[in-house]
Chain A
């Protein structure tokens, strides 16, 4: 049963992913990609459970290494995307002085 449930979740997310991305204009493909890339760092959640869990020492090591790499991906990915998106500007509107 569990497997079937996970399968459903998987299918629905894939369709949702297709729907969401096909509407993104070419202008935003690079930030989209690096933003999506940052999301793939979600592995960090799995890594955390493994690194802090009651496991054999080697598994803890592997988990810790996984936490490190996934955090690089998450933090780096989101920050670089934010930096890129900050550059996308519309034409300056006449400045309003307050």
Chain B
């Protein structure tokens, strides 16, 4: 196939990607959008296989079959609660692929002396290795934190930022050395650059705590796109550039949305762990516990109920009982909605997916900005395993580390139930005055069990 024809087909697949992303903007068309985007990928792969440069299909066939098998099994098996981990791993594998493509591209031009490569090619190869490596090791660390194989809290080494800075300078130094002396490339420098990129990824993610993972995941997603884009520039392939930069931009936008939802700048997320350094005003007061039977009596009389899920709901796998309770309340005549904070859970929109899994219709899912104006008219707000996203200190206590973060104002509701295992604070390690509020009742215990007992009371 001629280069022109391949280029033309790449345009078709770019259109499919773009249109697919566009259709992803509404739940009604999203499934089709995703399929169109997959079709675009298939078209691009098939036409590439027909390229004249390809003379040997054995390696491609074997590697692709194996990869497809691993990907398919992983995608089928993963539980919805484990979605953040899964996305982190897929991200990482995209990153390492770009690193390898960049590395292999050193040999481009088959047989020619690598010293004939232009400075532009060398720089883009370097970028694809660096970004790919950072994406890979960063995603692995993020996965480890999400799966809690490594502590999810922020880990800071002494002189962390200086080390990261030195690593960056070293990488740039390598880049300059390579442009000056391309022969030196293949020998040692390439290993140095690969090692540097992997180290940089670890250093970038390790100081970020579990609460900031939504931001990190979406940032790494952006990196994986940029890595593909850099690889495309290195091997002069337009579809890699277009698709890669689409993803890169998408990730940046999402990252920005997440940061806004926490009222923190990106640099703040990246360079300072969510350490409660400022001493927040100590909250004191008396908590008022409630038992499931009494909670039932209040819920039975309520005419409007809002559920506010958080990561605790995911841990307790309580999404199905949440939906069941919601349905019972609706049957009882109450208006039920689910208020979702943009950063609840461990990845953007995590709660939406869990509730969707439990068959909650998406019309009942309400965003923070839509629920807050009418929260005063809500009879009961049920907080299920969420902490920081409903903490009124963010609104009132200027000394609180989370001050200024937009929250769901559940404390304005007539009654608040907080489902919680203990009085422990959330990821941010901040006390929550909500627990001591006049209209707050604490329902201690595993969220799933507590909800089940309320449901049992309803059914009696």
Residues of A within 8 A of B (CB): 2-3, 6, 9-10, 13-18, 20-56, 58-60, 62-92
Measured between beta carbons, the chain A residues less than 8 angstroms from B27 are 27-28, 85, 88, 90
Measured between beta carbons, the chain B residues less than 8 angstroms from A65 are 63, 100
Q: Is residue B105 contacting chain A, with contact meaning CB distance below 8 A?
A: yes
B253:A33 contact, CB within 8 angstroms: no
A74 interface neighbour in B71, B100, B245, B349, Cβ under 8 Å: B71
Which residues of chain B in 53-89 are interfacial with respect to chain A, using CB atoms and an 8 Å cutoff? 53-57, 59-60, 62-64, 66-68, 70-72, 74-76, 78, 80, 83, 86-87
- Count chain A CB atoms within 10 A of each CB in B20, B106, B243, B251 and give the residue with the most: B243
B35:A36 contact, CB within 8 angstroms: no
Interface range on chain B: under 10, 10 to 19, 20 to 34, or 35 or more? 35 or more
Measured between beta carbons, the chain B residues less than 8 angstroms from A77 are 71, 75, 90
Q: Is residue B254 contacting chain A, with contact meaning CB distance below 8 A?
A: yes
Q: What is the CB-to-nearest-CB distance from A56 to chain B, in angstroms, rounded to a whole number?
A: 5
Can you name 14 extra interface pairs (CB under 8 A) apart from A2-B236, A39-B225, A69-B100?
Answer: A17-B249, A30-B349, A32-B254, A34-B87, A44-B41, A45-B240, A54-B53, A55-B108, A62-B101, A67-B64, A79-B72, A82-B35, A89-B356, A90-B361
A84:B80 contact, CB within 8 angstroms: yes
B245:A10 contact, CB within 8 angstroms: yes
- What is the bound-complex CA distance between A13 and B18, given in angstroms? 9
Known: A35-B37, A45-B45, A50-B235. A68 touches B66 (CB 8 A): yes
Measured between beta carbons, the chain B residues less than 8 angstroms from A87 are 80, 353, 356-357, 359
Chain B residue at minimum C-beta to C-beta distance from A52: B54
- What is the bound-complex CA distance between A91 and B24, given in angstroms? 19
Measured between beta carbons, the chain B residues less than 8 angstroms from A46 are 101, 105, 228, 231-232, 235, 237, 240
B94:A70 contact, CB within 8 angstroms: yes
- What is the bound-complex CA distance between A26 and B240, given in angstroms? 27
A40:B225 contact, CB within 8 angstroms: yes
Q: Is residue B204 contacting chain A, with contact meaning CB distance below 8 A?
A: no
20 sampled A-B residue pairs with Cβ under 8 A: A13-B246, A21-B21, A25-B26, A33-B347, A33-B349, A40-B224, A40-B247, A41-B94, A43-B101, A51-B104, A65-B63, A73-B71, A73-B93, A75-B72, A81-B34, A82-B35, A84-B83, A85-B27, A85-B34, A90-B28
Q: What is the CB-to-nearest-CB distance from B59 to chain A, in angstroms, rounded to a whole number?
A: 4
- What is the bound-complex CA distance between A7 and B221, given in angstroms? 22
Measured between beta carbons, the chain B residues less than 8 angstroms from A48 are 45, 48-49, 54, 60, 64
Q: Is residue B30 contacting chain A, with contact meaning CB distance below 8 A?
A: yes
Measured between beta carbons, the chain A residues less than 8 angstroms from B111 are 54
Q: Is residue B107 contacting chain A, with contact meaning CB distance below 8 A?
A: yes
Which residues of chain B in 109-123 are interfacial with respect to chain A, using CB atoms and an 8 Å cutoff? 110-111, 120
A17 interface neighbour in B68, B75, B248, Cβ under 8 Å: B248
Q: What is the CB-to-nearest-CB distance from A65 to chain B, in angstroms, rounded to a whole number?
A: 5
Which residues of chain B in 240-291 are interfacial with respect to chain A, using CB atoms and an 8 Å cutoff? 240-254, 257
Q: Is residue B385 contacting chain A, with contact meaning CB distance below 8 A?
A: no
A37:B107 contact, CB within 8 angstroms: no
Q: What is the CB-to-nearest-CB distance from B345 to chain A, in angstroms, rounded to a whole number?
A: 9
A26:B349 contact, CB within 8 angstroms: yes
Known: A27-B349, A36-B247, A44-B97. A9 touches B86 (CB 8 A): no
Which residues of chain B in 281-325 are interfacial with respect to chain A, using CB atoms and an 8 Å cutoff? none
Residue-wise, chain B 309-350 has the 8 Å CB interface mask toward A (1 for contact) of 000000000000000000000000000000010100001111
B250:A64 contact, CB within 8 angstroms: no
Known: A20-B22, A84-B83. A37 touches B59 (CB 8 A): no
B362:A33 contact, CB within 8 angstroms: no
- What is the bound-complex CA distance between A84 and B460, given in angstroms? 35
- Count chain B CB atoms within 10 A of each CB in A6, A85, A87, A88 and give the residue with the most: A88
- What is the bound-complex CA distance between A3 and B90, given in angstroms? 31
Q: Is residue B25 contacting chain A, with contact meaning CB distance below 8 A?
A: yes
